[in-house]
Amino acid sequence: MASRRALLIRAAALAGAALAPAGWTRAFAQARLADYPFGLGVASGDPLPDGVVLWTRLATDPKAMDGGMTPAPVEVAWEIAEDEQLSRGVRRGRALAAAEAGHSVHVEVAGLKPDRDYWYRFTAGGHATPVARTRTAPEPQADVRRLRIAYGSCQKWEAGYYPALAHLAADHPDLVLFLGDYIYEKAASKGDVARLHPPEAADDLASYRHRYAWYKADADLQAAHAAAPWMVMWDDHEVSNDYGDDQDRSNPPPAQFLKRRAAAYQAYWENMPLRRTALPAGPDMHLYRALDWGRLARLAVIDDRQYRAHRACDADPDSKLIPAACPERFEPGRTMLGRPQEDWLAQELRGSTARWNLLGQQTLMGPLDTPDGQVSNDGWDGYVATRRRILETWRDHKVANPVVLGGDVHAFFAGDMSVEPGGPPVASEFVGGSISSLGMDAATMAAVLAANPRLAMGDGETRGYGLVDLTPDACAVTFRAVASALEPVSPIRDLARFVVENGQAGLKRA
Helices 205-216/219-227 angle, 10° precision:
80
Looking at 103, 137, 171, which one is the last position of a domain? Answer: 137
Number of domains in the chain: 2
**Same domain? 64 vs 153:** no
- If asked whether residues 339 and 480 sit together in one domain, one would say yes
Which of helix, strand or coil describes residue 21? coil
Could you count the other beta carbons within 10 Å of the beta carbon of residue 22?
A: 6
Residue 312 to residue 247: CA distance in whole angstroms? 13
Contact 151, 466 (CB under 8 A): yes
Per-residue pLDDT at 10 exceeds 90: no
Give the mean pLDDT of 127-139: 98
Residue 25: the pLDDT is 32
If pLDDT is split at 50, 70 and 90, which confidence band does 61 have?
Answer: very high
In terms of Cα–Cα distance, which of 297, 263, 270 is closest to 7?
A: 270
Q: Is pLDDT above 70 for 4?
A: no
Q: Are residues 119 and 191 in the same domain?
A: no
Of 87, 120, 137, which marks where a domain is finished? 137
pLDDT of amino acid 319: 80
- Parent domain of 83: 1-137
Judged against a pLDDT cut of 90, whether residue 453 lies above it is answered with yes
What's the start-to-end Cα distance of the chain, in Å? 62
Q: Count other Cβ atoms within 10 Å, centred on residue 304.
A: 28
Mean pLDDT of 187-198: 91
Picking from 8-17, 80-89, 248-257, 397-406, which range would have the lowest pLDDT averaged per residue?
A: 8-17
> Does one domain contain both 336 and 357?
yes
Per-residue pLDDT, averaged over 78-107, amounts to 98
Per-residue pLDDT at 250: 87
Rg (CA), the chain: 22
Does 459 have pLDDT greater than 90? yes
Confidence band for 9, pLDDT divided at 50, 70 and 90: very low
Q: Are 120 and 153 found together in one domain?
A: no
Q: Looking at residue 160, what is its pLDDT?
A: 98
Residue 161 confidence (pLDDT):
98
Beta strand pairing status for 374-376 and 412-417? unpaired
Q: Looking at residue 50, which CATH number applies to its domain? A: 2.60.40.380
Count the Cβ atoms, other than its own, within 10 Å of residue 306.
Answer: 22
Same-domain check for residues 348 and 482: yes
Query: What does the pLDDT read at residue 82?
Result: 98
375/502 same-domain check:
yes
pLDDT surpasses 90 at 314: no
Top pLDDT among 26 and 475 is at 475
- Residue 251's pLDDT is 87
Widest CA span in the chain: 71
126 and 176 share one domain:
no
Choosing from 101, 120, 137, the residue where a domain stops is: 137
Q: Kindly report the CA angle at 505 between 502 and 509, in degrees rounded to 5? A: 85
